[in-house]
Amino acid sequence: MPSIRILTLESDDDAETVRCLAKKLAAFMQLAPIQIYTAGGPQPQLRKVIQNYLKQDDYVIIVIDSDGRMTQHERSQQPNSLKNQSRRIVNDRQFSGKVFLVEAIQELEAWLLIDCIGIFCYYATKRAQFRENCRDKVSADVSLKRFVSNNQKGDTEKIVEAVSGGKGAKEHLIELSEKVLRQLNPNLTQRDIDRKKYHESRAPEVAEHIEINAETLRRNDSLKKLGDVIAQFQ
């Protein structure tokens, strides 16, 4: 059974989120059993870290946020940016066929935004009436179905920062979570909403509610690429 190590170099929360989505990708693609491990957080000696993982794992996939166009340009000018470090390692003959790079276009949150119903159900299942069969209940409710449809992005890679530091996928998901909270309870105070709205630390739990199927996967090519890379190891 192949062993894959997925490295998310920006946070531990990203590692748990990507592991959850990777397992869902493997299940949807009906891949043979495969061991998927993750590790998250900054790695000052990335090359050495990868060398060590390859002593116990068959393959390493590096996942990094790509952010908006302005940020991509800025990173390309920095020789030691995560992106450039990762590309040098992937292109090194020593790691040929063993190390792969997947860029989460428009931040990791863009992968979560492929499934607005899943995001809704992350919040809704905290309420008794949605605790079971949340998706079916949303689909059966005209107003909720309309709410989800109106807030579902067709291509989540196109949630682009207008300027460096502008709004991207993360900010869009925060705003969506606020809308969901108000939809579920119009009487919530802004203080309550601020306390419950999306934060990076919630990403792994949100990922548990995301459904990966042919329709949702069409909404993000970089997430599909992660699945395609994993499928190579069969």
Give the per-residue pLDDT at 168: 86
Can you list the domains of the chain with their CATH numbers? Answer: 3-109+220-231 (3.40.50), 112-217 (no CATH)
pLDDT at residue 80, rounded to an integer:
74
Q: Do residues 85 and 42 lie in contact, with contact meaning Cβ atoms separated by under 8 Å? A: no
pLDDT at res. 163: 42
SS3 34: coil
**pTM for this prediction:** 0.91
What are the E-state strand segments in 55-156? 59-67, 99-105
The secondary structure element, H or E, covering residue 23 is helix 12-28
pLDDT at position 13 is 85
User: What stretches in the chain show pLDDT beneath 50?
Assistant: 68-70, 162-164
pLDDT of 121 reads 98
Predicted pLDDT of residue 3: 97
